[in-house]
Every structure is written in C-alpha cells, then in structure tokens.
Amino acid sequence: MATPIEAVGLSKVYVSRFGTRRITALGGIDLRVEQGQVFGLLGPNGAGKTTTVKILLGLTRPTSGSASLLGLPASNPESRRRVGYLPEGHRFPGYLTARQTLTIFGRMSGMDSALVRRRAPELLERVRLSEWADVRVKKFSKGMTQRLGLAAAMIHDPEVLLLDEPTDGVDPVGRREIRDLLQEEARRGKTVLLNSHLLSEIERTCDRVAVLRGGRVAAAGRIEELTASGSRYKLVATGVDDVLLAAFRETGASVQRVNGHFDLSARDLDHVNALVDRLRAAGGKLQELTPLRTSLEDVFVDLVRESGGGAHGAPPNPQSGGGAHGAPPSPQSGGGAHGAPPSPPGPTSERPS
C-alpha cells in the first residue's frame, strides 16, 4: 500500500496583494505517516499545522514541495475519496438529528442508502450517541457535537483520518473513549493524523509526533524517544549511606535523595551497571531502577522557548477556493474530504496556525 500521508519539502509563502509583504507559513517540511499509525502534529499558534492540513486536503496549494495522500497528489480530488476530516469548531444544522446528519454525510461520500442505514447506527454506538440518534443536533452539548463530528468523519470507513482537536469540549470519560476508538482504528490498519493542543492526550494516544516551530519541523519521532531524559533513573535501594553516595559522585554520577528514593544520572548504561555493582559490593540491595522521562509538554515548551514562540504573524487574505474548515467541495471537484462537517457559509481567509 502507498504511504498514507507524505510531504516532501513542503513550503507555503503568502504574499500580500501588492507583493510588499511575504509571510512564510511553512519553510520546507518533510512528513511521513505510515499505515496503522496515530500521528500527532503539534506546534504553537502560527507554527503551520493548519496550513499543512489545508494543503493535504487540497484547500490551498503549496508554494513548493509536494504532498500526497495514499500515493496520490494532494491536488488530485481522488486523493480525498478515502479520507475523513474533522475540522476544529465544526457545526451541523440544528434541525437535523444525529442519524440524519450521518445519512447526509454518507450520501455525500458516495455511499448507497442501504450501507448508510447499516453503518450509521454502528458509529453512533461507538461514539456513545445511540440514545440520541433521533434527537435534533441543536440540543447537543459541545462534547456530543464533537462525538457526532467524529462519526461523520468515519461514516464512509476512510483509510486516513485527519482530526483537528477531536476531544475539544469532551469530558475525561469521553476523551478516554475517543482515544480507545482511534487506537482501535489504527489496529484495523487506518492512519490517523491528530492535531491537538491537549498534549496529555497526544502523549496517551499517538505512536509518533512532529513538533512544528516557525514553519519547520523542530523535532519528530516516537513519544518515548522525545521524552527520554538520557541516563537518568529512579533508584530505590537499601544500604545506601553518605559514603556510598560520595563514591558514586567520584565516578561522575549525579545522585540526590528525593522523597524516599534517589534521582540518579549517569553517563551511559555501562556507568549505571558499574554503580549497581558498587552498591551490591557495599552490601546494598537494589529494589527498583526505573528510567525517568520528561513529559511531552516539557519537551514541547522547551522547543518553543528555544525560538521564543512559533507565530509568524497574520498573513494577508488571498482569495481562496476552499473554506477554512474543509467543507465538501463543489460537485465539479469530483470528491473531497469526505466525512468532514461543512462550515457555515461565508468568506474565509488562509491563515497559518
């Protein structure tokens, strides 16, 4: 199978009407998301996350570089036929019921009526809205609207899901359920690109992440790789006295007492093993030796602070053929980001975020 999501050297420069101002939203990023991955796209406001997603959905064109979905260029409407999109702040017509909403999105995605009738109840059950299937959407809370938006993005069983803040407004139990649902989809071979400011959710949900800063990839990799704090360990042992601690420090180790255990930093794994051998030789007994990790939030904040933030400033307002929320395109486009709730009508502008 072709790579589900890929960007190579992707850049986007906005130019003002008279060419007097240039805003670089993306400065040449490389991105690759494999089948079955839940991938987190992180960054402060203005880092280029929304611009990246808009390019993938064909809502704006890159200045240079390339982007593809499932092996097809992002500019090709066929690339979006097997993509589900949940925009941030989506809205549904309040007079529709949840069942009617899914029916409309299913039919817009090219599904036949029988398949929609069978799949809609299944999805409403998965997002815990079965009891609200025939209730008008105007009575839904924000969290319920988010759940319905996720179901709409999944109605046509897409191979790729692009989700912008899917747990926004959802209570802790609901966030856990959405997290489980996305991981279940990944186990089924689906690919998920998750854009969120809830770093704790990203850390619990995603396999890999990329942190954008100033329109470039500041860091990328597996969560455990990015949060590893080097050779730093939590040490719990008996028989550790000041003499032994001094001997540890003579080898170049850093060791501090912290709430009943020791915070130990060593050069590498060989150094750690040598310290454990010295502990045992002194009559001590090792009870626990656990690698310590920083949180994803700490990694994120450190990366952003290195540049003093990620915003570029507001770009000009060029004419755009696509809405900011990824509303389904006109019939002439031959297909679009299926499963994406439509935006309210009105003009939109392209803004990197």
Alpha helices, H only, the chain? 49-56, 98-108, 113-126, 142-154, 172-187, 199-205, 223-227, 242-250, 269-281, 296-307
How far is it, in rounded angstroms, from Cα 247 to Cα 229? 23
> pTM higher than 0.75, yes or no?
no
pLDDT given for residue 295 in this prediction:
74
DSSP 132: G
What stretch(es) of the chain map to CATH 3.40.50.300? 5-215+310-333
pLDDT tens digits, 122-165: 999 999 999 999 999 999 999 999 999 999 999 999 999 999 98
Whole-angstrom distance, CA of residue 39 vs CA of residue 182? 11
Order of strands across the sheet with 228-238?
Answer: 254-258, 261-265, 228-238, 285-293
pLDDT reported for residue 293: 72
- pLDDT tens, 168-200? 888 899 899 999 999 999 999 999 999 988 888
What is residue 130's three-state secondary structure?
helix
Residue 307 confidence (pLDDT): 61
Q: Are 279 and 195 in contact (CB under 8 A)?
A: no
The SS3 assignment for 270 reads helix
Question: In the chain, which stretches have pLDDT less than 50?
Answer: 309-353
Is the separation of the CB atoms in 55 and 61 below 8 Å? yes
Q: Please, are residues 40 and 62 in contact by the beta-carbon 8 Å criterion?
A: no
Give the Cα separation of 150 and 143 in Å (integer). Answer: 11
Residues forming beta bridges with residue 67, ordered by sequence position: 7
Cα–Cα separations (whole angstroms), residue 223 to 13, 30, 296: 30, 18, 7
Q: Calculate the dihedral angle through the C-alpha atoms of 15, 62, 211, 50, rounding to the nearest 10 degrees.
A: 80
- The residue among 212, 210, 251 whose CA lies nearest residue 48 is 212
Give me the CATH code for the 229-293 domain, please: 3.30.70.980
**What is the DSSP secondary-structure string of 7-28?**
EEEEEEEEE-TTS--EEEEEEE
Edge-first strand order for the sheet with 191-195 is 83-86, 160-164, 191-195, 38-42, 208-213, 216-222
Tokens representing residue 258 in the block: 């912290």
Q: Which residues pair with 11 in a beta bridge?
A: 27, 64
Looking at residue 233, what is its pLDDT? 86
pLDDT at 225: 79
In 10 A of CB 302, how many CB atoms? 12
**Predicted pLDDT of residue 112:** 94
The CATH H-level (homologous superfamily) assignment of domain 5-215+310-333 is P-loop containing nucleotide triphosphate hydrolases (3.40.50.300)
The neighbour count for residue 173, using CB atoms within 10 Å, is: 10
Q: Is residue 69 within 8 Å of residue 338, measured between CB atoms? A: no
φ/ψ of 278, rounded to 5, equals -65, -40
Q: Where in the chain is the domain with CATH 3.30.70.980?
A: 229-293
pLDDT for the residue numbered 324: 35
Cα gap 315→62, rounded to integer Å: 15
- What's the rounded Cα separation, in Å, for the pair 202 and 178? 12
pLDDT of 230 reads 63
pLDDT attached to residue 308 = 57
CB 50, CB 348: distance < 8 Å = no
Of 197, 161, 189, the C-alpha closest to 82 is 161
136: exposed, middle or buried (C-beta count within 10 Å: 0-12, 13-18, 19+)? Answer: middle
